[in-house]
């Protein structure tokens, strides 16, 4: 349902941009934007005929503007059409006293561009500039004044609309990623369900049949009954091993598929991924461990690193594989949590190890090494993976 609501927002009339405009990361933006009010006071220092009436009109306009400005942010984008229009009206009302009031027009058209569709924002901009042209002619202000206002307004509106487009693309990318992950998880659950059904259906039927046979043979032929019970035990043990393999498959992933998912996840967080893989054939167990390491490292980088670039390299040194994952984020002391501990334990099952140090670009580097040829039995490794994934 949440995903459906997000899609509706992406398709709505004026919904997507304000969702980002009023997010928590923009909570200081209303105060930062007030710095542009300095242009309102510029005529006070450059006009030789500045008087008290102009000062009173300018200060009174600020008292009207501030509630409109903060309402634009506090109302989560609602009624922005009203507040933007009110800013234009305030601009035209104060212009006869202070030509620096054109600042209010710029505030108004930018506010409209943040929440309107591009077409409506352009209509609003054109209407504002036409009215500004009429008043400029009426007040006999120089043409260069109007030209400067028009150029600045157009540049800022175009820039705002471009940013809105980028925000929509990022949201669409995140939704696509969520949908891909959801479909992958659904397909994975269906596969595991089929595997468990096949394993348990056959095994439990066989156990029931042999248990009933042992029960009937108990009094007539105890030795035969014991044979049947032992066969039940053998069948149960085999089923347990198959279930472990199936459960381990819940999280098993190919390295290339995991790198593709990592690229998508990092891109949605505005982080570039560069990777290089040596042409080497990996066993299932080794590839699974490395893929899970990439997944865990990607999650940690997105959550904690503030990185801009990530590099992943897989190299082969004789009979050893080494996977290095480094970022250019903040170099902080990495405290091994459940994710890194699980990564280290999975490597140790393969006879490998995990090292954490400073990366080439100042961030954190994870170095995972393991034998290319697996010496342990697949059953032990899969069982270990199933134990870790079940936590």
Residue range 255-298, pLDDT digits in tens: 787 888 888 788 877 788 888 888 887 777 788 888 888 888 88
In a 3-state reduction of DSSP, which class is residue 279? coil
CATH number at 383 reads: 3.30.565.10
- What per-residue confidence (pLDDT) applies to 30? 81
248, 283, 305 — which closes off a domain?
Answer: 248
Same-domain check for residues 207 and 143: no
Domain shared by 144 and 228, yes or no: no
Domain span at residue 74?
2-175
* Cα–Cα distance, 388 to 368 (Å, whole number): 18
Q: Which residues contact 276 (CB under 8 A, 6 or more apart)?
A: 312, 313, 314
CA 82 to mean position of chain CA atoms: 33
Same domain, 146 and 209: no
* Same-domain check for residues 74 and 111: yes
What's residue 264's pLDDT? 79
- Domain end point (choices 149, 175, 201): 175
pLDDT digit string, tens, across residues 139-168: 898 888 899 899 999 999 999 899 888 877
Q: Tell me: do 28 and 58 sit in the same domain.
A: yes
Q: In the chain, which stretches have pLDDT less than 70?
A: 1-27, 75-78, 178, 181, 185, 188, 192, 199, 244-253, 331-338, 373-391
pLDDT (0 to 100) of residue 109 = 92
d(CA 142, CA 280): 72
Q: How many domains does the chain have?
A: 3
Question: 105 with 55, same domain?
Answer: yes
- List, in order, residues 6 or more apart from 92 with CB less than 8 Å away: 131, 132, 135
Residues 282 and 219 placed together within one structural domain of the fold? no
Distance of alpha carbon 340 from alpha carbon 345, whole angstroms: 9
Residues 35 and 105 grouped into a single domain: yes
Same domain, 81 and 146: yes
Decide if 101 contacts 91 (C-beta within 8 A). Answer: yes
- Of 64, 142, 145, nearest to 108 (Cα)? 64
The helix or strand, by DSSP H or E, that contains position 277, with its residue range, turns out to be: strand 272-277
Task: Give residue for tokens 């994870």.
Answer: 366
Q: Of the residues 148, 175, 202, which one is the last residue of a structural domain?
A: 175
User: Based on the domain organization, do 122 and 261 belong to the same domain?
Assistant: no
For residue 304, CA distances in Å to 128, 234, 331 come to 45, 48, 10
- 221 and 143, same structural domain? no
- Model confidence pLDDT, tens digit, residues 182-223: 777 677 677 767 777 776 777 777 788 878 888 888 778 888
Q: What's the burial of 51, exposed, middle or buried (CB within 10 Å: 0-12/13-18/19+)?
A: exposed
pLDDT at 252: 52
C-alpha distance from residue 229 to each of 125, 205, 219, 239 (Å): 85, 14, 14, 15
In angstroms, the first-to-last Cα distance of the chain is: 28
How far, in Å, CA of 305 to CA of 297, rounded? 10
188/126 same-domain check: no
């Amino acid at each position: 349902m949440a995903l459906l609501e997000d899609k509706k927002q992406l398709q709505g009339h004026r919904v997507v941009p304000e969702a980002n405009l009023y997010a928590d990361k923009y909570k200081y933006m209303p105060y930062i934007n007030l710095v542009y009010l300095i242009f309102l006071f510029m005529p006070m220092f450059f006009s030789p005929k500045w008087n008290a009436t102009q000062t009173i009109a300018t200060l009174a306009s600020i008292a009207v503007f501030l509630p409109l400005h903060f309402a634009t942010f506090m109302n989560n984008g609602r009624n922005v059409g009203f507040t933007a229009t009110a800013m234009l009206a305030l601009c035209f009302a104060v212009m006869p006293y202070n030509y620096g009031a054109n600042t209010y027009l710029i505030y108004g058209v930018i506010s409209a561009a943040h929440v309107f569709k591009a077409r409506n924002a352009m209509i609003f901009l054109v209407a504002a500039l036409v009215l500004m042209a009429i008043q400029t002619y009426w007040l006999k202000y120089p043409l260069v004044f109007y030209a400067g206002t028009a150029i600045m307004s157009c540049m800022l509106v175009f820039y705002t609309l471009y940013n809105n487009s980028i925000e929509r693309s990022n949201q669409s990318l995140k939704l696509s990623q969520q949908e891909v992950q959801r479909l992958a998880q659904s397909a994975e659950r269906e596969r595991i369900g089929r595997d468990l059904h096949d394993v348990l259906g056959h095994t439990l039927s066989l156990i029931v049949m042999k248990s009933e046979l042992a029960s009937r043979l108990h009094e007539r032929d105890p030795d035969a009954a014991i044979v049947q019970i032992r066969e039940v035990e053998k069948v149960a043990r085999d089923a347990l091993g198959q279930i472990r393999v199936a459960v381990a498959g819940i999280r098993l992933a190919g390295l290339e598929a995991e790198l593709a998912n990592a690229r998508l996840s990092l891109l949605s967080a505005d982080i570039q991924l560069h990777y290089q893989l040596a042409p080497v054939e990996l066993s299932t167990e080794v590839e699974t461990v490395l893929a899970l390491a990439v997944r865990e490292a990607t999650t940690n980088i997105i959550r904690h690193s503030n990185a801009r670039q990530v590099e992943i390299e897989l190299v082969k040194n004789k009979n050893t594989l080494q996977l290095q994952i480094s970022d250019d984020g903040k170099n902080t002391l990495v405290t091994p949590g459940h994710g890194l501990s699980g990564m280290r334990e999975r490597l140790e099952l393969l006879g490998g190890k995990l090292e954490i140090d400073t990366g080439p670009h100042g961030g954190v580097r994870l170095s995972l090494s393991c034998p290319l040829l697996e010496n342990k039995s697949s059953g032990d490794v899969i069982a270990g993976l199933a134990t870790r994934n079940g936590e």
